[in-house]
């Protein structure tokens, strides 16, 4: 057993090939008077606290229809604002990486086995995974009180890292924050938050960018819809009286409704598809993250951002939605939902001859929601490195492709984790995991992943697949088909009138 003293008390972890410490509280239990309030310091302790097993996870429902591909882990308990640390040694000053999980801001945790940080520690990195408040508890706002509590939890965890990680052998002056999906959106939002300045020095965003926030008016719309569905008043106090199981069930139902949302009734959710997400409140988050970054916020932070080649197939193929898409519906969905002109749809079809309309829509949705926002962010943040993960999963008879979340076992070098078998098949390429994992480690150590930064002059990116290499502006005719972000916003504004 290994013993480490933190600012709140000693913790006892596991001493195996690497050292690990799990379930360490970085903030007080977010229940009772602490619920819907900014994170508070945990109660100090004096006796060594057992840190050999994962702690509680944020309240969420069990995995739904995609559970076989994207599992969840639910551990009951109120003390869920905790984190986990893997380290090669308690001595030294190793680079630190802090992972923020995804899950649409309503699910996920740092306790998934695929996020085990042992291979990062093996390679000289102190790896930290965190939990934060989700759904209504983390992102509901009625215009009063403190918004963005889930983001404030993430900032509290980063402050804990700043103040305590040296005791675990980490360098608080070299912290890389990275995340996937909603975790990547969190990373990019943190880049834009004044209260997060100086807490991290490098950032990696996997399958998420700086365009997934909502405005105060939309926050009120979401709050009203939640209250009506629960049959209660639109206040945090009233929501707090609702049994948690019912609250979680209604949250999930709002999430399903949001996938078909129109701006007139849902505001910004029609664009983000996420009813619970960071709110541009004007103070904690002074402006949309992409605008803040374009104006220089986070310019001193090294940034790597990327997407998977076929992200949206995860949502359209296993559910059977892709098979229901006809050619007329393809054009209608591309234009009304994503703002892609008819000529752009034709480019996508021409580049994918033999593909079904549903497969073409998946490509359009991938670019609308993931790839184009990543490129727009790379254009806004100088010195950004861009990648694309293109290895195609054999799942769903080979139709799942390089879908959302498929890169995670490669990043963590955990291809042997049992929870990934359904997604990855029986023989995922270890050489690709070696390369991807090393790239993330190299970036954390040096700020340079090994290829040129992206600019509008070169548009260089790294393509990770069975045969990897550097690419330059793949499918430029598709990229240039998309309206600018400002144009997309104006379309939404018109729809709201």
What residues are labeled active site? 181, 311, 404
Q: What's the token pair of residue 139?
A: 């992102």
108 vs 266: CA distance, rounded Å: 25
Interior CA angle at 482 toward 481 and 485, to 5°?
Answer: 155
Task: Report in angstroms the alpha-carbon separations of 224 from 37, 131, 216, 221, 230.
Answer: 20, 27, 12, 5, 10
The contacts of residue 470 (CB under 8 Å, 6+ apart) are 451, 452, 460, 461, 462, 463
User: Cβ distance 187 to 179 under 8 Å?
Assistant: yes
The contacts of residue 37 (CB under 8 Å, 6+ apart) are 30, 145, 146, 149
User: Cβ distance 137 to 153 under 8 Å?
Assistant: no
- Residue 422 dihedral angles phi and psi, to the nearest 5°: -65, -40
229 vs 352: CA distance, rounded Å: 42
222 vs 124: CA distance, rounded Å: 44
Q: Which of 79, 117, 103, 35 is nearest to 444 (CA)?
A: 117
295 vs 303: CA distance, rounded Å: 16
Interior CA angle at 102 toward 274 and 36, to 5°?
Answer: 65
User: Cβ distance 299 to 284 under 8 Å?
Assistant: no
92 vs 88: CA distance, rounded Å: 9
- Using the structure block, give the residue that is written with the tokens 């912290």: 175
User: Cβ distance 278 to 191 under 8 Å?
Assistant: no
């Amino acid at each position: 057993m290994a013993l480490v003293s933190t600012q709140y008390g000693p913790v006892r972890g596991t001493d195996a090939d690497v050292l690990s410490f799990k379930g360490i509280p970085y903030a007080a239990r977010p229940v009772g008077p602490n619920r819907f309030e900014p994170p508070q310091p945990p109660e100090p302790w004096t006796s060594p606290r057992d840190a050999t097993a994962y702690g509680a996870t944020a309240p969420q429902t069990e995995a739904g229809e995609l559970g076989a591909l994207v599992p969840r882990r639910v551990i009951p308990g109120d003390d869920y604002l905790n984190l986990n640390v893997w380290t090669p040694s308690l001595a030294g000053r190793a680079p630190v990486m802090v992972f923020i999980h995804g899950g649409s801001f309503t699910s996920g945790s740092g306790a998934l086995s695929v996020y085990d940080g042992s291979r990062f520690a093996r390679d000289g990195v102190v790896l930290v995974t965190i939990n934060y408040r989700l759904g209504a508890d983390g992102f509901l706002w009625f215009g009063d009180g403190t918004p963005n509590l889930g983001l404030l939890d993430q900032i509290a965890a980063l402050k804990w890292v700043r103040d305590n990680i040296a005791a675990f052998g980490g360098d608080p002056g070299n912290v890389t924050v990275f995340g996937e999906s909603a975790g990547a959106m969190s990373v990019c939002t943190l880049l834009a938050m004044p209260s997060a300045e100086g807490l991290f020095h490098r950032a990696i965003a996997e399958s998420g960018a700086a365009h997934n926030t909502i405005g105060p008016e939309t926050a009120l719309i979401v709050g009203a819809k939640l209250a009506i569905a629960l049959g209660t008043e639109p206040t945090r106090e009233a929501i707090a009286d609702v049994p948690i199981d019912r609250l979680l069930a209604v949250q999930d139902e709002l999430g399903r409704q949001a996938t078909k949302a129109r701006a007139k009734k849902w505001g910004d959710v029609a664009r983000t598809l996420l009813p619970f997400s960071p709110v541009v409140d004007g103070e904690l988050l002074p402006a949309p993250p992409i605008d803040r970054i374009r104006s220089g916020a986070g310019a001193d932070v090294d940034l790597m951002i990327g997407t998977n080649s076929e992200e949206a197939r995860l949502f359209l193929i296993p559910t059977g939605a892709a098979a229901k898409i006809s050619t007329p519906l393809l054009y209608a969905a591309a234009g009304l939902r994503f703002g892609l002109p008819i000529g752009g749809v034709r480019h996508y079809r021409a580049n994918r001859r033999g593909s079904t309309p549903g497969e073409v829509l998946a490509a359009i949705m991938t670019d609308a929601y993931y790839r184009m926002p990543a490129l727009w962010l790379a254009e806004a943040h100088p010195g950004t490195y861009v990648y694309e993960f293109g290895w195609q999963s054999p799942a769903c008879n080979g139709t799942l492709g390089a879908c959302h979340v498929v890169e995670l076992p490669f990043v963590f070098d955990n291809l042997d984790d049992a929870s990934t078998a359904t997604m990855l098949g029986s023989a995922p390429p270890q050489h690709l995991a070696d390369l991807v994992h090393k790239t993330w480690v190299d970036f954390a150590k040096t700020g340079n992943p090994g290829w040129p930064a992206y600019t509008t002059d070169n548009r260089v990116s790294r393509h990770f697949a069975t045969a990897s290499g550097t690419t330059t502006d793949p499918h430029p005719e598709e990229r240039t088909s998309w309206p600018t972000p400002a144009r997309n916003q104006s379309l939404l504004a018109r729809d709201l009138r």
